[in-house]
Each structure stands twice: as structure tokens, then as C-alpha cells.
């Protein structure tokens, strides 16, 4: 998949599932359940507190790639430095997500032929990331800032492609799409720890289907 094809996939799917501290068999079960629900863009994140995080991400990315054979467009999140970009690229990542905007990370992402999705909150950060060449802007934390904030920032700065993140529900997902956002990064509703502990992956599949149906309307 080329960089442009990855951009088109994210724009088409409108949903990026975000997983954190889920690995190995648990990650594979989750990914399979969400894939069955129609999810096609999947992000696993570095853990800045874990000294072995780059190795873990590499191993788990390769596990997912071997299982889905390109059926999932895979990305890596919480990318904080250029070294992590290169590690993600070598592991098969197609897009790079950060909680913040760091010019060196965006530049390395583009240099590696990957799609760039840095985090930004303020108009200054959004425009700086856009000017650095970011493909999407992860508005973080959109769920905390609220729908009104999202509308207010979109009104004058609507030439960029926004991905809303934090506490995205079926209802707020539709609100973001109505505003004009390109999509959302969804975590809690689709990686629900309680459901996973119960082995209730069918409910996660069902939730994924509901989000996918909403995305298809826009």
C-alpha cells in the first residue's frame, strides 16, 4: 500500500481503533473481533514508560501483519521521536500517530513514506502541524474539549483533515462527522477491558458494526 493509498483508506474508513497496553493473544483476539465488525484501520501504541516498548510493538505489529495479510491498515501511536518512527516503519506501520506535534517526527514520517497524524489542540498547533506537512491532525483531546470547541476550531481552520480522539462514542462520532471531520480515533468503546475479560468479543464486534454503519453515511 502506497502512502497515498493509506491516506485514501483512512478517509474512506473514517475509523482508527486505538489500542494501548494490549499485546500478543489478547491483541489478536481483539483485532479479529473488530475486523469481523468491519474495522480496517488499527493502531497500537508505544508505552513511554516501558524500556522494551519498541521491541513489543515490532513483535505485535508483525503478528498482526502475518495474521491479516494486509487486510488491516496498521499504524503506531504515541510516537515521540524519529527513532520510533523508523522502528514502526520496519515493523510494517503505514501511519504514525502522536499525542503532540513535533516537527522532527513529522519530517521523519514523511521521509519514511508514511502517513503523518500528529496531535494538536490549539489553532497554533494545528496550523504548525499542517505547515510541517502532516496529512491528518489528531485533535487531542477532542472528547474533553467538547463538540462546541471542535466546531469553533473547524470553522476558520477547515482546510485540514481532523481526526477526533478521546471518549468517542457512537453519538459523538456522528457529531464529528457532521462538523466535517475526516474521522475519529476510537478506543474505550471498542477495546472495553471488561468485555475482553468476560470473553464477550461478540459485543465488541457488534459495536464495531454500529460505528462502521455511521461512517458509511458520510
Distance in angstroms (rounded) separating the CA atoms of residues 149 and 139:
10
Is residue 60 within 8 Å of residue 77, measured between CB atoms? no
Q: What's the DSSP call for residue 52?
A: T
Q: Which of 43, 94, 102, 108 is catalytic?
A: 43
Distance in angstroms (rounded) separating the CA atoms of residues 130 and 128:
5
Distance in angstroms (rounded) separating the CA atoms of residues 138 and 117:
6
Q: Which of 14, 94, 138, 161 is catalytic?
A: 138
Cell triple for 114: 508514511
Is residue 174 within 8 Å of residue 6, measured between CB atoms? no
Element (H, E) at 85: helix 82-91
Specify whether 171 is catalytic: no
Is residue 77 within 8 Å of residue 22, measured between CB atoms? no
Distance in angstroms (rounded) separating the CA atoms of residues 143 and 158:
19
Specify whether 138 is catalytic: yes
Phi, psi for 75 (deg, rounded to 5)? -135, 170
Catalytic residues: 43, 138
Amino acid at each position: 500500500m502506497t502512502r497515498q493509498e493509506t491516506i485514501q483508506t483512512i478517509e474512506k474508513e473514517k475509523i482508527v481503533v486505538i489500542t494501548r497496553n494490549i499485546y500478543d493473544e489478547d491483541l489478536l483476539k481483539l483485532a479479529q473481533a473488530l475486523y469481523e465488525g468491519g474495522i480496517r484501520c488499527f493502531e497500537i501504541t508505544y508505552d513511554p514508560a516501558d524500556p522494551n516498548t519498541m521491541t513489543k510493538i515490532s513483535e505485535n505489529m508483525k503478528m498482526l501483519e502475518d495474521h491479516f495479510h494486509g487486510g488491516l491498515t496498521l499504524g503506531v501511536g504515541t510516537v515521540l521521536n524519529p527513532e520510533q518512527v523508523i522502528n514502526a516503519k520496519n515493523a510494517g506501520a503505514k501511519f504514525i500517530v502522536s499525542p503532540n506535534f513535533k516537527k522532527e517526527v513529522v519530517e521523519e514520517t514523511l521521509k519514511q513514506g508514511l502517513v503523518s497524524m500528529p496531535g494538536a489542540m490549539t489553532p497554533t498547533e494545528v496550523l504548525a502541524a499542517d505547515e510541517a506537512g502532516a496529512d491528518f491532525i489528531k485533535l487531542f483531546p477532542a472528547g474533553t474539549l467538547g463538540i462546541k470547541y471542535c466546531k469553533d476550531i473547524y470553522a476558520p481552520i477547515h482546510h485540514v483533515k481532523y481526526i477526533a480522539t478521546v471518549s468517542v462514542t457512537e453519538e459523538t462520532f456522528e457529531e464529528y462527522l457532521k462538523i466535517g471531520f475526516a474521522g475519529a480515533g476510537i478506543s474505550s468503546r471498542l477495546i472495553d477491558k471488561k468485555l475482553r475479560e468476560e470473553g464477550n468479543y461478540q459485543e465488541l464486534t457488534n459495536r464495531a458494526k454500529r460505528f462502521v454503519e455511521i461512517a458509511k453515511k458520510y
